């Protein structure tokens, strides 16, 4: 399997803009990767991004973190619209951008190494398509892919067996569904796997599933330098580089 990996920048800097811009209202929906579990210092990459956009000379975008630990694709789809319809600046309107990140919990094997996937694969393909189309009807959509696990730490919670083979299968289905619909997809799984075991394990918590503080900082770097988000937030893109 051939992998193309862009170098990961570890610097985030802001450049002042000569012209004022209208802040965007952004909703991030998904599982624990959106919620930020495992990062007691920064609260996860979404929270770090929210704080970044509160700095002087930043574009001032408003970010709502609507991540729920353990959510699968079906659950995110069920709460997609109702979650933001009554929230502050989004009340009675749709956001300017939805960022999705979900799928790893669907891929888990339940009870044993060769147990059934939490969400059967063909059902997952249907559910991810429904979620993407539902989101696209509201506003522009971006998708941040799943983080690879540390297989040696499984099972998680004594009953869920995550593995790279299933993760790859589910993330590929998601990536292809995004391509089909013109949704930018950030392939975190592919990028992190290509960095090697030590690099990966250094960015995962002791549970082997969630990123740690360094992992979420790395995720932030990946997102803010991603062409997908830069294009959607244009003309503010130079503020994220």
User: CA angle, 101 as apex, 99 and 104 as ends, to 5°?
Assistant: 175
pTM beyond cutoff 0.75: yes
- Reported confidence tier of residue 93, pLDDT bands at 50, 70, 90: confident
Higher pLDDT, 138 or 9: 138
- Dihedral, 87, 91, 97, 103 alpha carbons, nearest 10: 50
pLDDT band of 142, cuts 50, 70, 90:
very high
SS3 181: coil
In whole angstroms, give the CA distance from residue 77 to residue 237: 29
- List the Cα angle 58/59/63 in 5-degree steps: 105
Would you say 176 and 217 are in contact if contact means Cβ atoms under 8 Å apart?
Answer: no
Strands 62-67 and 109-110 come out as unpaired
CB atoms within 10 A of CB 36: 23
């Amino acid at each position: 399997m051939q992998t193309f990996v862009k170098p990961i920048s570890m610097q985030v800097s802001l450049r002042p803009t000569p012209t004022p811009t209208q802040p965007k209202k952004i909703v991030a929906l998904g599982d624990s990767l959106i919620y930020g579990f495992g990062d007691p210092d920064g609260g996860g990459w979404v929270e770090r991004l929210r704080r970044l956009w509160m700095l002087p000379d930043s574009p001032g975008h408003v970010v709502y973190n609507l991540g729920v630990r353990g959510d699968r694709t079906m659950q995110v789809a069920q709460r997609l619209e109702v979650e933001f319809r009554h929230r502050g600046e989004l009340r009675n309107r749709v956001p300017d951008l939805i960022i999705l990140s979900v799928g790893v919990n669907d891929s888990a094997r339940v009870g044993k190494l060769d147990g059934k996937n939490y969400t059967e694969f063909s059902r997952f393909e249907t559910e991810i398509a429904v979620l993407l189309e539902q989101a696209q009807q509201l506003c522009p959509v971006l998708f941040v892919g799943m983080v690879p696990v540390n297989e040696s730490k499984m099972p998680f919670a004594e009953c869920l067996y995550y593995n790279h083979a299933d993760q790859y299968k589910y993330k590929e289905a998601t990536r292809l569904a995004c391509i089909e619909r013109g949704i930018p997809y950030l392939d975190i799984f592919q990028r992190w796997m290509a960095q090697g075991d030590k690099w990966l394990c250094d960015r995962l918590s002791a549970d082997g599933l969630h990123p740690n503080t360094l992992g979420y900082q790395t995720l932030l770097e990946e997102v803010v330098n991603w062409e997908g988000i830069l294009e959607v937030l244009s003309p503010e893109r130079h503020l994220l580089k």
